């Protein structure tokens, strides 16, 4: 779990961790996770609040105060997207937020749009089927979904090879993209997938977002949490509706030009109605894209939460991510600084150095013009992997307060 400067220090840390976990936790200044399956006992709550109390106070200068109360209030649907650099704890934070919402009475859906999913690992449950799976444990219904672009692409290719247009259409219908196929039917889409165009994975994720907006199946969820892919992918996902909107806009313009030029001929052959119908559908798709774009930018219903760790590299990337999100007008109000060493009176040398580094990194956040205005939530480093609902509940109770 810890990278160390010297082999001796590493061995000492390992000895401590293996031989005396409680002492190791104290010495390495991490928050201990309860080993027993937690119930709603006072003891677990006590552990959680003690851990929270141990964590350093958040840096909030200049930022509005935002708590979990504000996130959980109201039954109108809200979307939370968690994103940041690879490996900083996006999935753990997203899954723990989803558990927290469900335990506060919200029917919740947590969706991974990261092609390298770890939601299954986080919940210790297989969610890889590409369909909604109920997560056992929380009070209100909690469902999880891993969007699997690899599988979707493979199915698409098979469908296009075996069944021609009909197979492709069935598949795309199931992805909420049937309208696109009707419009692009003449193109050999299957061939495109041998060299997938950039943004295809994101397009698949977007189509799922469209489904959330419209399908009855998803209407029960009052909170939808997205565990997004590392920064680059996420930015493409967020800018895709604009891109598609512009492309569809161009196609529509082109179509209307062609339509007016050929309408006389078409009407003779009885194809005028069909042409108009297709244009209407394309217009409908464009409207949907506008909806998705508005959703990403709607401060009432959507929030992007940046997750980082207290290192210079992660914070620099978070700063750039915030700047890009601002350009896209995506609302960002919170920054989670994960894996912070809680204060300790008995610092070992390793911990003292690590803590100094982290303090420096936290200072960097306070003076970063992109990040300083955000509400900063510090999440402590805990002493084991956060897997399964009880562990996620534990983390969620500490982080989301």
Ligand X SMILES: Nc1ncnc2c1ncn2[C@@H]1O[C@H](COP(=O)(O)OP(=O)(O)OP(=O)(O)O)[C@@H](O)[C@H]1O
Least distance (Å) from ligand X to the CB of residue 130?
18
Cβ pair 316, 88 in contact under 8 A: no
Q: Which is nearer to ligand X, 44 or 379 (CB)?
A: 379
Q: Which is nearer to ligand X, 377 or 379 (CB)?
A: 379
Q: Is 173 a catalytic residue?
A: no
Which residue matches tokens 């390298």? 116
Q: Which is nearer to ligand X, 28 or 210 (CB)?
A: 28
Could you tell me how many residues make up the chain?
401
Least distance (Å) from ligand X to the CB of residue 348?
18
Active-site pick, 114, 201, 227, 383: 114
Q: Which is nearer to ligand X, 276 or 324 (CB)?
A: 324
Residues that bind ligand X (CB under 6 A): 86-92, 114, 116, 118, 230, 338-339, 379, 381-382, 385-386
Cβ pair 13, 350 in contact under 8 A: yes
Upper half-sphere CA count for residue 348 (Cβ side, 13 Å) = 18
Upper half-sphere CA count for residue 22 (Cβ side, 13 Å) = 2
Q: Is 5 exposed, middle or buried (0-12, 13-18, 19+ CB in 10 A)?
A: exposed
Please state the φ and ψ torsions of residue 210, each to the nearest 5 degrees.
-60, -40
Least distance (Å) from ligand X to the CB of residue 369?
25
Cβ pair 32, 25 in contact under 8 A: yes
Q: Which is nearer to ligand X, 1 or 220 (CB)?
A: 1
Kindly give, in sequence order, each residue whose CB lies less than 8 Å from that of residue 115, ignoring residues fewer than 6 positions away: 149, 150, 201, 229, 233
**Distance, CA of 193 to CA of 35 (rounded, Å):** 46
Cβ pair 318, 364 in contact under 8 A: no
Cβ pair 244, 288 in contact under 8 A: no
Cβ pair 141, 134 in contact under 8 A: yes
Quote the tokens at residue 220.
Answer: 């029960």
- Tell me the DSSP string of 181-226: HHHHTTS-HHHHTTSPPTTHHHHHHHHHHHHHHH-GGGTT-SEEEE
Least distance (Å) from ligand X to the CB of residue 389?
14
Q: Reduce the DSSP state of residue 305 to 3 states and report it.
A: strand
Q: Which is nearer to ligand X, 90 or 106 (CB)?
A: 90
Q: Which is nearer to ligand X, 244 or 362 (CB)?
A: 362
Q: Reduce the DSSP state of residue 77 to 3 states and report it.
A: coil
Q: Which residues are catalytic?
A: 114
């Amino acid at each position: 779990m810890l990278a160390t400067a010297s082999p001796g220090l590493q061995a000492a840390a390992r000895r401590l961790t293996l031989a005396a976990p409680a002492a190791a936790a104290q010495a390495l200044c991490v928050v201990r996770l309860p080993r027993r399956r937690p119930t709603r006992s006072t003891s677990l709550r006590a552990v959680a609040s003690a851990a929270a109390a141990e964590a350093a106070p958040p840096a909030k200068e200049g930022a509005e105060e935002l708590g979990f109360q504000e996130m959980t209030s109201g039954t109108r649907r809200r979307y939370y997207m968690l994103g940041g650099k690879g490996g900083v704890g996006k999935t753990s934070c997203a899954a723990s937020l989803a558990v927290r919402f469900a335990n506060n009475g919200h029917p919740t859906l947590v969706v991974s749009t990261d092609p390298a999913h770890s939601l299954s690992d986080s919940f210790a449950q297989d969610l890889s089927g590409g369909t909604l799976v109920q997560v056992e444990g929380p009070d209100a219904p909690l469902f999880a979904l891993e969007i699997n672009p690899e599988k979707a692409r493979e199915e698409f290719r098979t469908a296009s090879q075996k069944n021609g247009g009909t197979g492709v259409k069935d598949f795309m219908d199931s992805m909420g993209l049937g309208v696109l196929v009707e419009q692009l039917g003449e193109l050999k889409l299957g061939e495109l997938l041998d060299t997938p165009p950039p943004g295809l994975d994101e397009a698949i994720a977007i189509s799922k977002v469209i489904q959330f907006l419209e399908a009855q199946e998803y209407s029960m969820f009052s909170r939808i949490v997205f565990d997004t892919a590392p920064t680059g992918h996420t930015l493409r996902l967020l800018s895709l509706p604009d891109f598609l909107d512009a492309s569809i806009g161009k196609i529509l313009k082109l179509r209307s030009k062609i339509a007016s030029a050929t309408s006389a001929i078409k009407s003779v052959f009885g194809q005028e109605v069909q042409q108009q119908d297709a244009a209407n559908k394309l217009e409908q798709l464009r409207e949907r894209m506008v909806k998705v774009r508005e959703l990403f930018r709607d401060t009432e219903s959507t929030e992007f939460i940046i997750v980082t760790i207290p290192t210079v590299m992660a914070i620099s990337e978070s700063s750039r991510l915030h700047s890009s999100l601002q350009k896209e007008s995506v609302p960002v109000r919170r920054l989670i600084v994960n894996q912070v060493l809680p204060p300790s009176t008995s610092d070992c040398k390793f911990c003292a150095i690590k803590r100094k580094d982290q303090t420096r990194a936290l200072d960097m956040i306070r003076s970063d013009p992109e990040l300083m205005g955000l509400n900063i939530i510090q999440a402590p480093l805990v002493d084991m992997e956060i897997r399964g609902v009880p562990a996620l509940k534990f983390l969620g109770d500490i982080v989301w307060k």
